[in-house]
Structure 1
Amino acid sequence: MSQTLKQPRNSTERAGFRVDLQGLRALAVLLVMCYHIWFSKVSGGVDIFLMLSAFFLTSSTARRIARGQRPPLVDGWLHRFSRLIPQAAVVIIGVVIAAWIILPSTRWLELIDQSSASLFYWQNWYLSDHQVDYYAFNTASASPLQHFWSLSVQGQIFILWPLVLAGSALIWKKFFSRHNFAWVAGSAFGAIFIGSLAFSIYITATNQQVAYFHTGARLWEFALGSLLALALPWLSSLPEKIRRFGGWAGLLTVIGSGAVLDVQGQFPGFMALVPTVAAALVIAAPAPRSWTNPSGLLSLSPLVKLGDLSYGMYLWHWPLLVFYLEVSGKQKASFLAGTVLILVSIAASWCATKFIEKPAIAWQASASFSRLIPQSGFKLIAQFAAVAVGLGVASLPVMAWENNVEHRRAMAAAQTATDNPGANATEGWDPSPTSLVLPLATELDSEWQTPGEVCEGAAAPDDERIRFCEQGGTFDGGAPDLVLLGDSHMQHWSAAASAMIEEAGGSWILVYEPGCRYGSDADRVKETCSDFQDAAQDYVADLAPEMVLTTASKTVARPDAMLRSPGEQEILVDNYEAMIQPLLDAGSRVIAMRDTPRYSYSIPECVDSNKDNFANCDGSVGYALNSVNPVEKFLDSRDYGDQVVSLDMTGLLCPEGVCKAVIGNVLTYLDDSHLSKTFVLSAKNQFASSFKEATNWE
């Protein structure tokens, strides 16, 4: 972003340098900061940065090619990255240290990966790959390195764009040397612009979360900047009144587009043309510093000075905001707190620019190793050293953090069952002070329960609307002994249920759809859920298993608009009776299970923050669940006999009316509502006992 946001101090002394574009950088980054900090949204300023970076790169390279000089490749890459990396490395080091100390360990692995992704310019692809995952953790918690996505896209373009320019120069010299180089390069960038914009519009409409971070969906913004650089001499010949009017209109649009447009939800499709074309109008406006031109406003000394610091301001403001919100426990910054964050970001940028970036640039320009090495050769060596040192130094705390995680894994693996008995903890049991709570908060991704193999043979669903199906145990060609049917709240008991059936020599099937409670008409608003319920009903009825286990009640985590507690809101699944009837008609018994309590916070994160007092993370069963089990109330008003029975595991999770976050040194939950596999496996005997008592099954 350095090429986008700042120039060396002496750049203002070079002929043709536009001071007002320094002010445009500053304005863009201030918009980004204000919208992030005060409005929790994005402004379109980053799109302007991306366009500007290509504008400057193409301008300088095209001038060089037009003079008959070769386009810089290796030296150009080293020049840019030797300026980008020092400040970025400092920010990443600061984020790693702060995150290690401040953030809960549930987020460590993600940030370790993001630290490397940010440092090596593929953060945008990391975020793209992790945006739409039902089982992803902390999707609502912002990463302090999330803003590096734009730097990653820009870094990728800084590698690609010189190749495009070099290829254009080669074609120009061989075939079109009589023509202006701008026509050849403009044709290449025009093709990139059209292809990328078409792709951006398509992928934004079909998968906007991926499109936002996709390099291919952003190429056109860079191509627009390059086309503007090549066309600027022609644009400068247009009447000044037209360019002046366009410049003011563009400046007002740049300032207001973030407030008017849904940047985060509709970009980078055709809507991103609004801020980028607006910035292009500002650049094409008359450059003399007159108050009749936008350049007069943008050339104000404070804006120009902030333009020198804007790269660092962008780097620092986001992690400062994330850590402030984490420490304060607030959802957003107040006006005063936001003002302080902006001032601190400016100060941090000033320090990093003065004491890190400028000395590194000065060293590259002035020092020498030996008279035997030409100055140009040394400069390349110095730039390579700056890149290598920056990457190496920033990698050290990342590796130390990762080693700490591995050490904790080794300690956890060395613990015995007596250190973490879970549901088998006896009264008076006292864990060792050095014993770690399991599962480790860094290992929660492995705590989702899928205990069997993908359904196959006679158990394989023919209907493609059933996406998730597991099977296990001994199949003898007949119907399975047990089918677990429902959503993730049925899935999270599957480790215990499958163990019970397999120990009895039986067979089982788990068929589920995340976020789709079987029998719930309310969940049918999602097409995948509606399809699943219809398909699963037919599938299970055709199987005609001996027993079908379903989740029959529905819990919530928070009070509603009428201030009813979660317990007061617990009800029977709204269309449960009608949906189980075909299963009963097929001869199956239905075990109607009460839902588990839900929390309004992450249990692992709470436990991680309350290592000395896990009780701070416990809940009240009276608050979380209805005083009368909705399943029992339903069965009392029906005459199902023993064909439909109730199963309630509340006593296991909430002994003596307290819903425990940790039982027997084991986390009961892996997030705010799903049980951990480690705990469920520790409770398999208790589950089997309750199941057999409810069903009289042997």
Structure 2
Amino acid sequence: MIREESAEDHFLFPTKAQPVTHTLDQPRKTTERAGFRVDLQGLRALAVLLVMCYHIWFSRVSGGVDIFLMLSAFFLTSSTARRIARGQRPPLLDGWLHRFSRLIPQAAVVIIGVVIAAWIILPSTRWLELIDQSNASLFYWQNWYLSNHQVDYYAFNTAAASPLQHFWSLSVQGQIFIIWPLVLAGSALVWKKFFSRRSFALVAGSAFGAIFVGSLAYSIHITATNQQVAYFHTGARLWEFALGSLLALALPWLSTLPEKIRRIGGWAGLVTVIGSGAVLDVQGQFPGFMALVPTVAAALVIAAPAPRSWANPSGLLSLPPLVKLGDLSYGMYLWHWPMLVFYLEVSGNEKASFLAGAILIAASIGASWCTTKFIEKPAIAWQASPSFSRLIPQAGFKLIAQFAVVALGIGVASLPVLAWENNVEHRRALAAAQTDTDNPGANATEDWDPSPAALTLPLATELDSEWQTPGIACEGPNAPEDKRIHFCEQGGDFDGGAPDLVLLGDSHMQHWSAAASAMIEEAGGSWILVYEPGCRYGSDADRVDETCSDFQDAAQDYVADLAPQMVLTTASKTVAAPDAMLRSPGEQETLVDNYAEMIQPLLDAGSRVIAMRDTPRYTYSIPECVDSNKGELDNCDGSAGYALNSVNPVEQFLDSKDYGNQVVSLDMTGLLCPDGVCKAVIGNVLTYLDDSHLSKTFVLSAKRQFATSFKEATNWE
């Protein structure tokens, strides 16, 4: 994953077997000839192969990325520290341009390829996210984007992998490439002013040691409290880079240890590097102290004797095929992940077979070879070109060339992203220009003739705005005092009295709120929506979540104290897929398990309860299905007989009780599933915004039908 330094930066370590006695501050006292560590190229190759194999065949994380991060700081610190120790100034601007001019060309090509492929292959429900991720990846901010967009209840496509997700580690690395030279420059300044008689490695090592201890402590803490954020957090990863820097500074001293000890440590480290991904839960436990396992193991490999003998790990890692792959490791990391994501998307498979995985690995190697040979190497060669030496000094030309490579790479990669954004904006403008006759939704008549050019609404790129919160936050006497109630909305004319209607439950109550609130407000009444996502009111099964259990208790007291005229709840519960006993979703639909007990306090307070039947659920996203089946929308429809019980569980419940008119049933199945077919699109409007929640656009189109059904069920005027 890491981009290698220039070849001269790798002539850092002795290649002969004799102990090394010099330090970074005494480079001229040794008679050893510095040599290029080809075994470290092999270590790179091994790490990237582990990453690819675990991703492709096991859907796991190997720990290879952690080794890459450590290695990148190892190389950077080695080259910079040797320059400082020789009395040269630490490179800042030229160092930054040097590294990013090598990183950006291949990254830009991959981003361009991903943008074009995603635009063509992926459903438009994912476009906005990928546009944002393209920019975040290009500007080395992807890790923070992923950290700030962790899975939440209302997030779309959280199960769908992003073809740019792997750029998180490159972003962390890019941030370190900016910070680390500053740390080294600061250490050099302190060394020259206060400790010039001591070793520079000691001064710099103190700085990196402090970073290591502080970051590791923070990493352990945040991994234990919020592992999803910790995985992408730069602060939780700093210690891995600090470890690489400490190793680079200490390696001359480590080289004086007995060769046998270093050889045993190297082999133990190599075995650990290979096996850590199989033994450790990298995705769930890193980057806390568990990440010490692969990184320290890699450090042992680096500290092992460098001569390429079969007695040393370097012999295995110096095999020509591994060394060649090490040269391509950066591109291999860049290409393998989007290739895997697009393959799974197109094939519909959850995992790659052995053959498909082998082809993906070969394709990644081939793509890396192409971008390395035809993109990266020409860019590097051009930076060293003496063509303008008569007009511009060579050093000045090199800086200008490096800046041009960085700017050109970012600029060219930004063009398809901007084109994609413009396409989205164009579709928004077209949608805004459509009339009600283009998208009548639930009001479509039998003789309605849809326009072939009209876009289906809501646009798949606008689904985030389809969640229904039709009012304002509850205030005044309606504001819940109990902090266990997190979501409360109100609307209408309260006129100092109790609300006419309270909608109580989870998101499946929330998704009817636009129609219910419109009905109440048109009648001059008032309403309150109190809900907790993923928490069905009355369900003991949902109480395993402490937040849900707290909400149900608090909401029961809150609504009973309000004593509204009516309380609307979702009384049954649907599922999307067959269970272990192969029962269909319809056979599994049942009444909420503790419904009778939970509505009793509301009835005792004098409220009427409207027990609503749950809506059908799907095993797939309706917008994504519609986006992929233009002209064949029937492919996205479902069967009411399959999705819902043949007998409404709410009706069965009421038949077994003696509530009279104090509890009544409301069933909107006929609206969603006319003639027994649950429609994905009605009147050129998406009925659902995902796999189980109704879209606000459709519900608003159906407010007349909802009001009619509600009034028929309750005799409310």
TM over 0.5: yes
Counterpart code for 2:3: Q
Q: How does 1:473-488 map to 2 (within 5 A)?
A: 473-488=492-507
Q: How does 1:199-238 map to 2 (within 5 A)?
A: 199-238=218-257
Give the superposition deviation at 1:622: 0.1
Alignment partner, residue 276 of structure 2: 257
| Secondary structure, counterpart of 1:145 in structure 2 | coil
Taking a change above 3 Å as real, the CA distance of residues 316 and 129 of structure 1, as seen in their structure-2 partners, is same
Unaligned runs of 5+ in 1: none
* Among candidates 527, 537, 552, match of residue 508 of structure 1: 527
Alignment of 1:3 onto 2:3 = yes
Alignment partner, residue 297 of structure 1: 316
TM-score, reference length from structure 1 = 0.99
Counterpart code for 1:202: H
Give the superposition deviation at 1:168: 0.2
| Secondary structure, counterpart of 2:236 in structure 1 | coil
Alignment of 1:585 onto 2:604 = yes
Alignment of 1:426 onto 2:442 = no
Alignment of 1:169 onto 2:188 = yes
| Secondary structure, counterpart of 1:16 in structure 2 | strand
Give the superposition deviation at 1:3: 3.2
CA contact (8 A) 1:12 1:19 kept: no
Alignment of 1:627 onto 2:654 = no
Cα RMSD for the two superposed structures: 1.1
CA deviation string 1:316-346 (max 9, x = no partner): 0000000000000000000000000000000
Give the superposition deviation at 1:2: 4.3
Alignment of 1:673 onto 2:689 = no
CA contact (8 A) 2:7 2:36 kept: no
CA deviation string 1:180-207 (max 9, x = no partner): 0001000000000011001100100111
Taking a change above 3 Å as real, the CA distance of residues 29 and 450 of structure 1, as seen in their structure-2 partners, is same
* Among candidates 254, 263, 286, match of residue 305 of structure 2: 286
Aligned residues, how many? 697
Taking a change above 3 Å as real, the CA distance of residues 328 and 35 of structure 1, as seen in their structure-2 partners, is same
Taking a change above 3 Å as real, the CA distance of residues 305 and 10 of structure 1, as seen in their structure-2 partners, is farther
Alignment partner, residue 488 of structure 2: 469
Alignment partner, residue 708 of structure 2: 689
* Among candidates 109, 112, 128, match of residue 131 of structure 2: 112
Give the superposition deviation at 1:490: 0.2
- Find the aligned partners of 2:276 and 2:165 in 1 and give their Cα distance: 22
- Find the aligned partners of 1:533 and 1:133 in 2 and give their Cα distance: 20
Counterpart code for 1:557: A
Counterpart code for 1:416: T
| Secondary structure, counterpart of 2:533 in structure 1 | coil
CA contact (8 A) 1:422 1:663 kept: yes
CA deviation string 1:642-698 (max 9, x = no partner): 000000000000000000000000000000000000000000000000000000000
CA contact (8 A) 1:22 1:308 kept: yes
Q: How does 1:366-405 map to 2 (within 5 A)?
A: 366-369=385-388, 371-405=390-424
- Find the aligned partners of 2:556 and 2:438 in 1 and give their Cα distance: 43
CA deviation string 1:573-618 (max 9, x = no partner): 0000000000000000000000000000000000000111111100
Give the superposition deviation at 1:9: 9.8
Alignment partner, residue 138 of structure 1: 157
* Among candidates 673, 676, 680, match of residue 657 of structure 1: 676
- Find the aligned partners of 2:10 and 2:284 in 1 and give their Cα distance: 37
CA contact (8 A) 1:37 1:333 kept: yes
CA contact (8 A) 1:2 1:83 kept: no
Alignment of 1:310 onto 2:304 = no
CA deviation string 1:231-250 (max 9, x = no partner): 00110111111111110000
Counterpart code for 2:559: V
Alignment partner, residue 37 of structure 2: 18
* Structure 1 range deviating more: 575-584 or 127-136: 127-136
Counterpart code for 2:675: E
Give the superposition deviation at 1:428: 2.0
- Find the aligned partners of 1:336 and 1:283 in 2 and give their Cα distance: 33
- Find the aligned partners of 2:600 and 2:198 in 1 and give their Cα distance: 79
Alignment of 1:640 onto 2:644 = no
CA contact (8 A) 1:368 1:378 kept: no
| Secondary structure, counterpart of 1:216 in structure 2 | helix
Alignment partner, residue 594 of structure 1: 613
* Among candidates 370, 376, 389, match of residue 351 of structure 1: 370
Unaligned runs of 5+ in 2: 13-32
CA contact (8 A) 2:216 2:239 kept: yes
Give the superposition deviation at 1:7: 5.0
Q: How does 1:474-553 map to 2 (within 5 A)?
A: 474-553=493-572
| Secondary structure, counterpart of 1:645 in structure 2 | strand
CA contact (8 A) 1:3 1:56 kept: no
Counterpart code for 2:318: S
Q: Percent same amino acid at aligned positions?
A: 89
Give the superposition deviation at 1:98: 0.2
- Find the aligned partners of 1:601 and 1:513 in 2 and give their Cα distance: 23
Give the superposition deviation at 1:12: 7.5
- Find the aligned partners of 1:556 and 1:627 in 2 and give their Cα distance: 14
Alignment partner, residue 612 of structure 1: 631
CA contact (8 A) 1:570 1:630 kept: yes
CA contact (8 A) 2:10 2:75 kept: no
Give the superposition deviation at 1:11: 5.9
- Find the aligned partners of 1:500 and 1:231 in 2 and give their Cα distance: 74
CA contact (8 A) 2:568 2:612 kept: yes
Give the superposition deviation at 1:8: 4.6
Give the superposition deviation at 1:369: 3.0
Alignment partner, residue 328 of structure 1: 347
Counterpart code for 1:154: Q
